[in-house]
Amino acid sequence: MTPISGFQLTSPFASDEFRVKVGLAEMLKGGVIMDVVDADQAKLAEDAGAAAVMALERVPADIRRDGGVARMSPVAKIREIESAVSIPVMAKCRIGHLAEARILESLEVDFIDESEVLTPADGENHVYKHDYKVPFVCGCRNLGEALRRIGEGAAMIRTKGEAGTGDIVHAVKHLREVTRQIKALTLLTKDEWMAAAKNLGAPFELVAWVATYGRLPVPNFAAGGIATPADAALCRMLGAEAVFVGSGIFKSSDPAKRARAIVEATTHFQDPARIVKASEDLGEGMKGIEAAKLTEAEQLQTRGW
Amino acid sequence: MIGVLALQGDFEAHVDALRRAGVAAREVRGADEILDSRGLVLPGGESTTFRKLMDGTGIEDAILTVARRGDPVLGTCAGAILLARDVEGPPSQGLGLLPMTVVRNAYGRQLDSSIVRLTDVAPGALGEEPLEAVFIRAPRISAVDPSVEVLARRDGDPVLVRKGNVTAATFHPELTDDRRVLDLFLSGRPCA
């Protein structure tokens, strides 16, 4: 393309920086990323075999119960978690909160989750993630949303599901929706790509990429409502390459045992006997909330644009 | 058939890279599948997670058997940590197939991850061209026994090493189109 007074269209996706971001996401595949609020929970997660931990102020079930504004984890807590474990440390920032994102980058967290679980800071815009050296993950409910986030620079995508409910139904819906829309794109001729981009509300170049390769250009994980080893295995069966577990572990009666069991089931999702073994004697799971009973205003998944 | 240990990590990237090179490869998750493989890759990922999932499964013994019968074994990043004898940060023991010491996350956190074009490479094994090396929260090889061949260095530190049929890289050859490390690993393969 001819430069117009010095402006040149270049794809940031081929840069070393973006490849290194996606590289870390590749390393987390097949693993479990566990929500933790302090160093003790982080240690428990690491000992159970977590591939990474996610620092946040309160687990989603508590955010639901107590209400109020949910923000980035306190700086001291993030530092404490970083020094407690040797596995990667992720942390959540509010949607569009450029300053929280810069703080987390300065704290050298390994991944930032620009997350709908926290109260959004911007009702219209997300962070332009290519401008950061730290990789980002974002949630989605469908392919258009996934590709908008990747267009902004997300190096990993996860389903939103419905966090803090312990109900897997929305994670399943979002996984199936993304898969169905990817399959549909692969059937189109090139003439149809622009209309598809318009309908999805997604960048044309990324629509063309997905139509050509039949998958997302970054790893695709599941989150939102995973409470049992079977839930984790289900998400893997539906094509999620790894899982995030939030309230499901620390709202159960025996977090250490459940965490270990979910790690086991995530790896051996194709082996029913291993899932059975992992599911035995786990104690009580989180009680949970049936997601269908939530009004739209109570849903976290509707945040993000 | 080359087995790629698929407990956790970037095992898909390894299977893809091997298949692109025209080599049959599959994911393996248990001791029997490992023993049935004629060559083994231990991928990148989290070495602490690997260790938890290997506990009490016989996988460690199966890896040792495959290596000792002469089949080629490659460990990248976390896989290299498993192959080492001594591990630091925190201290532990590896499988000991490579008499060397590895320090986990020694180059820092993700912000310090980078792609480096290595020029300090053994020309006999790898040729003259710089080697594209993707380092992700990489471990550092801090000491090697004289029996271990150092094939590439980054700022003086060994990053690609070999002893007989066992090869280890602290970077990720599976994340580039440069096939030289893969060819090196496969060249340790016995006939058929």
Helix (H) or strand (E) holding A288: none
Residue A83 contacts residue A63 (beta carbons within 8 Å): no
Q: What is the ipTM of this complex?
A: 0.95
List alpha helices for chain B, DSSP H. Answer: 11-20, 31-35, 47-54, 59-68, 78-83, 123-126, 180-187
Do the chains contact at B45 and A87, CB–CB below 8 Å?
A: no
Q: Is B155 helix (H, G, I), strand (E, B) or coil?
A: coil
Peptide bond into B158 cis (omega under 30): no
Give how far Cα A303 sits from Cα of A97, A295, B5, B179, Å.
Answer: 14, 14, 38, 44
**DSSP per position, A14-37:** GSHHHHHHHHHHHHTTT-EEEEES
Residue in chain A nearest B104 by alpha carbon: A86
User: What's the CA gap between B38 and B32, in Å, rounded?
Assistant: 12
User: What's the CA gap between A128 and B124, in Å, rounded?
Assistant: 45
Q: Is B179 helix (H, G, I), strand (E, B) or coil?
A: coil
- When pLDDT is averaged across residues A46-58 and rounded to a whole number, the result is 96
Report which of A55, A58, A117 is spatially closest to residue A90, judged by C-alpha positions. Answer: A55
Do the chains contact at A20 and B114, CB–CB below 8 Å?
A: yes
Predicted confidence (pLDDT) at residue B5 exceeds the cutoff of 50: yes
Mode of pairing for the β-strands spanning A220-221 and A156-159: parallel
User: A224 is written with which tokens?
Assistant: 């939102």
Report which of A123, A76, A122 is spatially closest to residue A99, judged by C-alpha positions. Answer: A122
Predicted confidence (pLDDT) at residue A29 exceeds the cutoff of 80: yes
Find tokens 């602490």 and name the residue. Answer: B48
Do the chains contact at B175 and A31, CB–CB below 8 Å?
A: no
What does the pLDDT read at residue B90? 86
| pLDDT tens digit sequence for A162-208 | 999 999 999 999 999 999 999 999 999 999 999 999 999 999 999 99
Give me the residues of B, 65-94, that contact A with CB < 8 A: 77-78, 89-90
Least confident interval from A232-241, A286-295, B181-190: B181-190
Query: Where residue A297 falls among pLDDT bands split at 50, 70, 90?
Result: confident
Amino acid letter for position A289? I
| pLDDT tens digit sequence for A120-164 | 999 999 999 999 999 999 999 999 999 999 999 999 999 999 999
Give the residues across from B161 on adjacent strands: B150, B168
What does the pLDDT read at residue A252? 94
What does the pLDDT read at residue B191? 37
Predicted confidence (pLDDT) at residue A1 exceeds the cutoff of 80: no
User: What's the CA gap between A107 and A40, in Å, rounded?
Assistant: 19
What does the pLDDT read at residue A12? 86
Which domains can be identified in chain B, with CATH numbers? 2-187 (3.40.50.880)
Report which of B100, B42, B99, B35 is spatially closest to residue B71, judged by C-alpha positions. Answer: B35
What does the pLDDT read at residue B181? 96
- When pLDDT is averaged across residues A7-35 and rounded to a whole number, the result is 91
| pLDDT tens digit sequence for B36-67 | 999 999 999 999 999 999 999 999 999 999 99
The 8-class DSSP code of residue A160 comes to -
Query: Where residue B188 falls among pLDDT bands split at 50, 70, 90?
Result: confident
User: What's the CA gap between A125 and B49, in Å, rounded?
Assistant: 36
**DSSP per position, A162-210:** -TTS--THHHHHHHHHHHHHHHHHHTS-GGGHHHHHHHHT--HHHHHHH
What does the pLDDT read at residue A3? 56
Query: Where residue A5 falls among pLDDT bands split at 50, 70, 90?
Result: low
Could you tell me how many residues make up chain A? Answer: 305
Residue B3 CA neighbour count, 13 Å, CB half: 23
Residue in chain A nearest B49 by alpha carbon: A49
| pLDDT tens digit sequence for B88-129 | 988 999 999 999 999 999 999 999 999 999 999 999 999 999
Predicted confidence (pLDDT) at residue A55 exceeds the cutoff of 60: yes
**Test the B interface: residue of A17, A28, A29 with most B CBs within 10 Å:** A29
Residue in chain A nearest B91 by alpha carbon: A86
Q: Is A226 helix (H, G, I), strand (E, B) or coil?
A: coil
What does the pLDDT read at residue A2? 58
Predicted confidence (pLDDT) at residue A93 exceeds the cutoff of 60: yes
Do the chains contact at B137 and A88, CB–CB below 8 Å?
A: yes
How far the first Cα of chain B sits from its last, in Å, is: 10
- When pLDDT is averaged across residues B15-35 and rounded to a whole number, the result is 96
